[in-house]
Structure formats: C-alpha cells, structure tokens
Amino acid sequence: MKRLEFRNVTKRFGTMTAVEGVSLAIADGEVVSLIGPSGCGKSTLLNMGSGLDPASSGEVLVDGELVTKPNKHVAFMLQKDLLLPWRTIVENVELGQEIQGVTKAERRQRARDLLVKCRLPDFIDHYPHQLSGGMRQRAALARTLAVDPTVLLMDEPFSALDAQTKMVLQQDLGRTLADTRKTALLITHDLVEAIAMSDRILVMSQRPGRIIEEIVVEIADRDSPMKRRQHPKVAGYIVQLMNLLQIEQAAA
C-alpha cells in the first residue's frame, strides 16, 4: 500500500522553480531518505507532503487522499526540537494529542509510555532547559509519535547533535520505526545516516530539484543502524552517492 505519493509535483515561488516534475511513492512501513545539493527543494517536498504548502501543479497524496492542508495522519520532525519551555517534558509530548481533543488521562498515559521507550522515564516532569540536546530530541521524537501518524516527515532531525549522540538516536529511531511499522521520509546530508536508516535513497538534482537516482539499500538489519554502519557494503554505497552528488555539483 502506498502511504505517501507525489505525482508529477512542481513547486514555484514567483519566477523561481524549486522542484519540477517530482514523482515518488513510499510504501507502508518503508523508510526513504532524500539527499541532494543544498537548495534543491528537499524541504519544499516535505512542506508539501505535510500540507503546509500547496503544490503549484501535480498531486500529493497520503493513504490515497489528496493533501490540501495539514492533517493528523502526517507528523513533522525538524532539526530543532521546538519544545515549549514553559511546559514539562510530558506536557510537551502531550501537546499534539491535546490539540486533537484526546482526554487528559489517555494522552498522559501515552506520553509516559513513549518517554519510557525513548529512554526518558526519569525526566518526565523536567523542563526542556534541564535536558541535554540529545534528550530534547528524544522528547521531540516522542511528541512526534504521540499523535500516532501514518507518515513521519523528518528534516535533518539529528544534524545539530554530536556524532556519538546522533548514532544513539539513529539507533532509537531505527528500532522505533521498525517496531511501529511507521512510514518515513527523511532528509539528510549525512550519507552514512541515509544508508543506515533507509530502505531506499532518492538523490535529487540541483534546483529545480528532480529525482535523478533511486538506490535500494540491500543490507539487512534496518532496525539496527549501528549494525548497518559496520556492513562492508556501506563503502560502496558511499562512493556511488558521492559520485552522483559530485556530478550534480559539477553541472551547477
């Protein structure tokens, strides 16, 4: 089943075309990474997928339904955690459910359960300023999952973290996505992250962004990015991706 689909999508901002003729589909439970040069329209695709920004032409669909506005089936995780400083961590995780009208008891229990899964059980009643950057991103992940979305859109969610913390959170996310069978579209500039996290990697061209290559990651253990990082095939995928990106840079 196709969870997220772009059909010949183009987005223009005035006279500038950000993405042009993009078609892609992501199946139920699949994780796909999107890589490409800066400014090629990766975030623009996520904005259209979330319903925050309409396509100039073409169609975006979630579960076969046309996306025309933000909806509860799609959740967005950004580079910054954007936790509200005046709310405790558990209250931050509850926020989306609160907006959806979920009862206090139900949303509190779900938030607590997710914070346990995200390894933050001892920080439920803390405030964001009392947590490290990695812990705040774990809380942001819990908040994203709390609304039980069909599709997760992630725009470089770990790019601001140090290398060690990033790998730990990649492991957490990989396991969580596998356990919940969530569908995800991930933007990253980290080639190893793309290989470690994904079933497929889509490579975009310079602006106007188009999909120029699809690479299927034929490595087992997608639920364990740390294991994947150690696989001998990783080096070959990196060379392939670097060659594609260098060709694009040279063409600019």
Same domain? For 51 and 109 the reply is no
Same domain? For 59 and 159 the reply is yes
What is residue 163's predicted lDDT score, i.e. its pLDDT?
A: 85
pLDDT (tens digit, 9 = 90+) per residue, 176-216? 888 888 999 999 999 999 999 999 999 999 999 999 999 99
Q: How many domains does the chain have?
A: 2
pLDDT (tens digit, 9 = 90+) per residue, 73-117? 899 888 788 899 999 999 999 998 888 888 999 999 999 998 988
Same domain? For 162 and 51 the reply is yes
Same domain? For 39 and 136 the reply is no
* HEC sequence for the chain: CEEEEEEEEEEEECCEEEEEEEEEEEECCCEEEEECCCCCCHHHHHHHHHCCCCCCEEEEEECCEECCCCCCCEEEECCCCCCCCCCCHHHHHHHHHHHHCCCHHHHHHHHHHHHHHCCCHHHCCCCHHHCCHHHHHHHHHHHHHHCCCCEEEEECCCCCCCHHHHHHHHHHHHHHHHHHCCEEEEECCCHHHHHHHCCEEEEECCCCECEEEEEECCCCCCCCHHHHHCCCCHHHHHHHHHHHHHHHHHHC
Greater confidence (30 vs 161) lies with 30
pLDDT (tens digit, 9 = 90+) per residue, 17-47? 999 999 999 999 999 999 999 889 999 999 9
Same domain? For 139 and 169 the reply is no
Average pLDDT, rounded, for the chain: 91
Same domain? For 106 and 50 the reply is no
What is residue 250's predicted lDDT score, i.e. its pLDDT?
A: 54
pLDDT (tens digit, 9 = 90+) per residue, 112-146? 998 988 889 999 999 999 999 889 988 998 998 88
Q: What is the pTM of this model?
A: 0.90
The mean per-residue pLDDT over the stretch 215-232 comes to 94
Same domain? For 251 and 216 the reply is yes
Same domain? For 168 and 221 the reply is yes
Range of the domain at 91: 80-148
Residue 160 has pLDDT above 80, yes or no: no
Q: Which of 148, 174, 201 is the last residue of a domain?
A: 148
Same domain? For 28 and 69 the reply is yes
Same domain? For 67 and 163 the reply is yes
CATH value at residue 54? 3.40.50.300
